[in-house]
């Protein structure tokens, strides 16, 4: 394959096959080839002192991997006749091997969890690692399948560093002929929290929230000009970003969020990302900052 592919990982489980189906539809939307990958390795806790035993066990794992790849390719071909599909078996620890397979891809698609025959191939054990480390956008596909709603959601956390996230979200909306809703969540402390001087909320909070709303409006106006055919809404909501975006996922076809360098604290980007992944009702795409 010469064009950048959509890459999807399988472990043979029903959950990973749903991810393969989602990836096949995404590849068709983008007129891109589909590459299906799966890793084979023995877990570190398996101690096989004799080389023949080790080789036999690894051979069994590889057979399972290859069967999973064949089944996934057949499912994708059935769903999307004419789609260019190839398979890419990889070796090594599953999380790192799957993450590496996304190098140069348009997108890397994994299931939220898997129930494969071997613990080392269960995608649930690697989805979080892939979402945190892959160099390309990562789609984490939930077990649930829902009818298309014609809406792409996007979380805008850092209003000054969200171009890559918005570009991906607008492109998805355009490809799907869907609307887009952008949300910036303004998290206020829980009721009962006391601030210095016993003032709640702090005097500048409403001013800052209003400034964020104005900045988001200007930002969306710029993107409306780039994608005039995409109906756009935006909102600044009060609440935990993870909760707001998980709620948005219940009414959107997918939710797009950015991945930035982590910093300490309960509101760090990683904590929001993991909250969304753990509680979303549908596919979530994580777009790494450039």
Domain count, the chain: 2
Domain with 31, as residue range(s), is 6-141
Model confidence pLDDT, tens digit, residues 104-150: 999 999 998 754 444 444 445 688 899 999 999 999 998 766 678 99
Last residue within a domain, chosen from 115, 141, 167: 141
**Residues 158 and 137 placed together within one structural domain of the fold:** no
Question: Contact 253/150 with Cβ under 8 angstroms?
Answer: yes
Model confidence pLDDT, tens digit, residues 36-54: 999 877 665 455 555 666 6
**Residues 101 and 183 placed together within one structural domain of the fold:** no
CATH number (domain holding residue 216): 3.40.50.620
Model confidence pLDDT, tens digit, residues 140-175: 998 766 678 999 999 998 888 899 999 999 999 999
User: What pLDDT is attached to residue 44?
Assistant: 57
74, two tokens? 């057949």
**Residues 126 and 19 placed together within one structural domain of the fold:** yes
Model confidence pLDDT, tens digit, residues 261-288: 654 444 444 678 888 998 899 999 999 9
Q: Is position 195 within any domain? A: yes
**Residues 133 and 162 placed together within one structural domain of the fold:** no
pTM of the model: 0.85
**Residues 98 and 155 placed together within one structural domain of the fold:** no
End-to-end Cα distance, the chain: 25
Beta carbons within 8 Å of 126's beta carbon, 6+ residues apart = 9, 94, 95, 98, 99, 110
For residue 189, pLDDT over 80 is answered with no
Measure Cα distances from 243 to 155, 185, 240, 252 in Å: 11, 9, 5, 14
């Amino acid at each position: 394959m010469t064009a950048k592919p959509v890459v999807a990982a399988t472990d043979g489980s029903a959950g990973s096959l749903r991810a393969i189906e989602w990836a096949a539809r995404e590849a068709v939307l983008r007129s891109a080839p589909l590459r299906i990958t799966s890793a084979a390795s023995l877990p570190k806790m398996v101690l096989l002192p004799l080389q023949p035993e080790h080789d036999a066990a690894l051979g069994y794992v590889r057979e399972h991997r290859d069967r999973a790849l064949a089944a996934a390719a057949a499912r994708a071909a059935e769903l999307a006749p004419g789609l260019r599909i190839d398979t890419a078996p990889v070796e090594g620890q599953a999380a790192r091997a799957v993450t590496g397979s996304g190098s140069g891809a348009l997108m890397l698609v994994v299931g939220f969890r898997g129930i494969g025959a071997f613990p080392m191939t269960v995608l649930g054990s690697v989805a979080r690692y892939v979402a945190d480390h892959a160099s390309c956008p990562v789609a984490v596909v939930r077990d649930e399948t829902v009818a298309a709603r014609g809406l792409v959601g996007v979380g805008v956390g850092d209003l000054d560093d969200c171009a890559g996230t918005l570009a991906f979200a607008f492109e998805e909306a355009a490809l799907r002929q869907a609307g887009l809703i952008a949300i910036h969540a303004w998290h206020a402390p829980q009721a009962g929290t006391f601030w210095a001087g016993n003032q709640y909320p702090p005097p500048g909070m409403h001013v800052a929230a209003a400034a964020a709303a104005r900045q988001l409006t200007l930002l969306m106006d710029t993107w409306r000009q780039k994608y005039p055919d995409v109906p756009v809404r935006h909102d600044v909501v009060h609440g935990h970003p993870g909760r707001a975006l998980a709620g948005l996922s219940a009414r959107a076809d997918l939710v797009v969020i950015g991945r930035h360098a982590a910093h300490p604290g309960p509101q760090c980007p990683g904590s929001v990302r993991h909250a969304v992944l753990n509680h979303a009702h549908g596919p979530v795409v994580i777009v790494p900052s450039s």
